[in-house]
Structures are given as structure tokens and as C-alpha cells.
Chains A and B, each alone.
Chain A
Amino acid sequence: MNRLLVAYPARLRRKHGDELIATLVEMTDGRPPMSDRTRLVLDGLRERFRPPVRRRPMALLAAVFALLVGGALGAAAGSWLGTLSYAELPATIPVGEKMTHVNVADRYLWAEAAFPSGADAAYAVEQSRRALAADGWRPGPIGSREGVLTNVHFAAEQGGVRLDVYAYPSLGTVTVAGWPTRPASYVPLTIAGTLLGLLAGWLAGVALAHRIQAARRPLRSGVLLTMGLALVAPSAVGFVASLWSYLTVADPLGTGGLVHAQGFAFGPTLDFMRVYDMGEGWYLTPSDFQQLPLYGFAVIALAAILARPRYEYEAVAQ
């Protein structure tokens, strides 16, 4: 019957496990029906969600922070799983009048070709557009922009890959940038990851709050937990903001907008750092935001390890 107690937090199992079973046995003359066993399990699950009652505001604050960090980490895991079914980038694409080998870095491709001799931007773009259509790409309408970097451009898609084709009269070149589009499974996986992360975050936060409160030196672990969360927070906020921007950005996305361009990422994208002038490249880089949470989670783990319970249970009064 002890396996029914698996649903309970370890703290309660240690403290009241034997009594729980003994009381259930006494209440049911030793033969608890299935309904009572089920309720015992459900009550145990409910206990896992309850934050401690002592120093409640601090405990709630820690649990809410853990909930949010868990949600962000779950979103990162879910969206990263979504990127596993990104389409492969092509090795060659037609640029101008001939097939061109593309440069591929991370999840981006890039290619460039000079205008045909004597041609203007409009002609060069039209030529590329025809060539891409002939190669099976679905080109969109041609647009143009005046001013700094005057250009003529269009977008094209094929097999889960998106290309942005720009012809710059001032440079005399056609440049192509491309990246995978979001597969159908991306958003559902991201949502599922977020929900699971929120759940796991709350449960972990509540368990940690209980553990720290019962510790011999709760202040030490409390300070470490705060430090750990502070180290994780910038990456969590940066990632969620970048993910939101990736999911909602109006066309074009731009090279630097994919959230997991170099594999699993938990931090702001390059584009996000540029938009908010976060000193990208000279002050902070995306890899800094990848490392910060590692230190943060290590400090949180240390806080949990050091928070050894004060006693097994309150000494029985003599």
C-alpha cells in the first residue's frame, strides 16, 4: 500500500507516510476500497502544488519566479523540438541567370551574383524571379524601396524554405538570403513545452520553498536561490521576447531572427539584441545569455543541496 504514497511530496512521505497508511487502514477496517485509494493519491498530488504557509509571501514569490522560468525553459525546449523538423537548406539556387552555390551558416543561407552586363536592378530581379519559378520556387510580388540602400526585391518559398531576393542598383548585385519556415508542428510543440514547463516550474519552486524553509540555514539557501534566479532571468526574458518576436514579426523576418539558429538556445536572438541596442558583439553576445542560466541553475542546485532539513521530525515531547 506504500506505493500509493508516491504521489506525495517526499517531505510529507517522510513525515507522515506511515501515519497516512495507518489512518487509512483504521478508517476502512484494513480494506480500503479503490475510491479511497484513488482519493489518497489525488490528495497527495494536490499537496505537491501547495506552497508553504510559513513566510508565505517569500515562498509564493519564489514559486511564481520558478513558474515563469520553467515556462520559458519549457517554451525553449518545445520550440527547439519544433526546429528539428525544419527543412534542409538547398546547396544551390538560381541567382540571376545561373545556378549558384549558396553559403550556409547555421540555419541561414546566403548567395550573391552581379547583374548581367548592362542590366538594371529591375531586369536582374525579374531574371532571378523567372529562374526561381522555373526551378519550382513560388515567387511573391516584386517590391521596391527608395532612399538609403535603394533596392528591388521579392520573396520566394519552396519546401519549407523562404528566400528574400534583393537587387541593389548602387552595388550592381543580387543578394539572396534564406532560412527555413516554421513547420506545422512548431507552434503546438512550443505551446506544449510552455505548459509542461510552467507545471514543472511551479512544482520545483514549491518543493524548493518547502525544503529551504525546513533547512538548518534557510537564509543562506534563500540568498543563493535569489542569486540563481537573477542569473537565469535575463536569458529567460530575452528568450521569451525573441520567441514572441519570431512568432509575431511582420515580414521580413531577417537573418538573426530564428530562435534556435545554432541549436538549442535560451536567450535573446541576435536580431533582438540589435533592436534593443544591447551592446551585441562588444558588451554582450548571445553566448553570454546561453551561459548565464547554466551558472544560475548551478547556484539554484547548490541552494537545494545546502538546504538540508533541520530535523527528520520535531522531537517527540517528553
Chain B
Amino acid sequence: MQDIDELAAELRTDIEAAGSLDDLEAVRVRALGRKGTITHLMKGLGAMEPEERRAAGTALNVLKDETVVAIEDRRTSLRNLALTEQLATESIDVTLPVRAEGCGRIHPVSQVVDEIVAIFADMGFAVAEGPDIEDDFYNFTALNIPPEHPARQMHDTFYLEAERDGAPLVLRTHTSPVQIRHMRSSPPPYRIIAPGRTFRCDSDMTHTPMFHQVEGLAIGHDIHMGHLKGCLEEFARVMFEDDNLRMRFRPSHFPFTEPSAEVDIGCSRKGKELRIGEGGDWLEILGCGMVHPNVLENVGLDPNEWQGFAFGMGIDRIAMLKYGIPDLRAFFESDLRWLRHYGFAPFDVPTLAGGLAR
């Protein structure tokens, strides 16, 4: 038995002393291998007397189990040590920049169209469309602008080389022809908005030959100017996110509406800075009115039965006002620096529930 105690002490020392996994394995083989010390003692049991064998066997089994556990423990700690050493050599510079990912942007015009659609859709307006190349009838005559009307000259119309019905085709000067197309193609009542491109032969600091408008049209039996005011007030307050936004409806004149109005919103001007909703100044944002009886007749509706309002406003202008974009011309210059700055993240989809703008 003394042999066993001595062996146990010897093995404990050897296991503790093993400095590497290889050393430890050598200790294990020496003790537990086929020719190992413990194995050797185990084999010797057969030659013993039963009494002696029982006692020695028990002691040997204990020794064997203890050795296995001790080796395993030592192995774990050696591994941990090795891993710690390895990790110490594996550090990187986390301050280096990440791989650049493409960063696309939505143009402010698209974003603002989506905002406008979200608001008017909530009031039951559908979205209608029409062609950019229009004929004289849809762009002018049907809208109560006869050939010699002074308003035609004010429109700075682009003409195409092509003609239809004896008059040159035009690039639509406003989105109002969509009203006509819509009313001619489906029965009343109507509630539509029509955003799109419009064209005027004009280019200077504040005008571009192409810009964007949104047209609105609501026709029913009893839609009156009170509805027009209510609709546009609600729109402007949601669009500019100001429930107390001051608004003013001024009498004006458009050939296709009667009565007609221009709409101003409250603002302040300090030097070059314009703030919507503050101060005592006014800023015009759109034109509107009750659809002219002649226009209704031109699309085959009886003005004594059907009536309603129409409006038109500049989308680019709304975008400039809402987002503080100073220069209209920059909208169409495709300058990446401008797009990165004024563009919108693709996942910023305007919704009324989540907010129109981030």
C-alpha cells in the first residue's frame, strides 16, 4: 500500500509540473498507458490473496480515478493558458474604417410627392395621371382658356413641331389637363390629385423649364368653397406639421375657376432665412377655386348639378419651403453633393401613422 501512496504523490507532482499538453500526455501514458505504472499495478492484483486484492484493488481504483480527474483539470488549465497567450497576439485596430456601403437617396420631389399623396389619400383622393405632351384642347381650350386669352401668353408654352387638329402640340404648362382627362373618362363624383411634370419656356434664377405640380380636383353635388378651405387648411397643417399654421385665402383669377383664390401661409423673413408658421409675413403656396361652369360643360357635366373645387401647387416649391432648400435650379442638376445632402433615405417612406418626415 505504501507503493500506492508513494505513486499517488509522485503522479500529483508530475501532473502539476507538466508545462504543456505534450508533457501532460507523457505523464498520462506513464501512469495509465498500457505499460503505465497504475496499469502495471492493476495487472499485479491477480497474483494477490483475495483479502489483499480487495484492499489493493479499491486503493488502485481510487488512485486511477483521481489521476484521470487531475490530468483533465490540468489539461483544461493548460488550454486556457494557451488560449490566453494566443488571444494576446490576435488583436486588431478597431479604429480602421468599415467597408463603404452604397448610400442611395430619394430625390426630394419624389419624397414630397409621397407625402402629398399620403395626406390626400387619407381624405379619399385617388391619384390620376396624364401625358406630358398635350394638345391645345386639354391644356387650354377645355380649361376655359380660349386662343386669344391673355393667360396663354402668361404661360410661356413650349410647342412641339407636331400638330393636332390644326394647333401645335404643347408640353403641358400645368397639371390641370389631367382634370379634363379624368372627368372625360369616368363618371362623377371625383376626388383626385395629379402630381407630375410641367413645362414652361422660362429659365432664370427662380424658374426652370421643367418643374412639378400637383393638381387637385373634388367634384360632387354640394362641394363648396368651405370644403376647399377645409381641405387645403388640413393639407397645409399636416404637410408643414403645424396645427396652428396661419392661412389666408385671397381672391384671385384663373380662367378655369370661379371664384378663384390664392392661398398664403404665415411665415417670417429674417434676412435670408424663411420660417414657415412664424411671424407676420405671408407666403403664397398655391392657387385654387371652384371649377368654372364652362370647364364642367366642356367635359359634359351640368354645372347646375355638379360642382366642386380644384387647386394646383408647385411640388418643388413645397419641398423648398418644408426642407429649407434654397435653389430651385439645383433640383435638376443631379449634383451628387446636393443629392447626398437634401435626398432622403430609401426606407423613409412617408406615412401618416409613422410621421411624414424624419
Is B truly associated with A?
Answer: no
Residue positions of B touching A, CB distance < 8 A: none
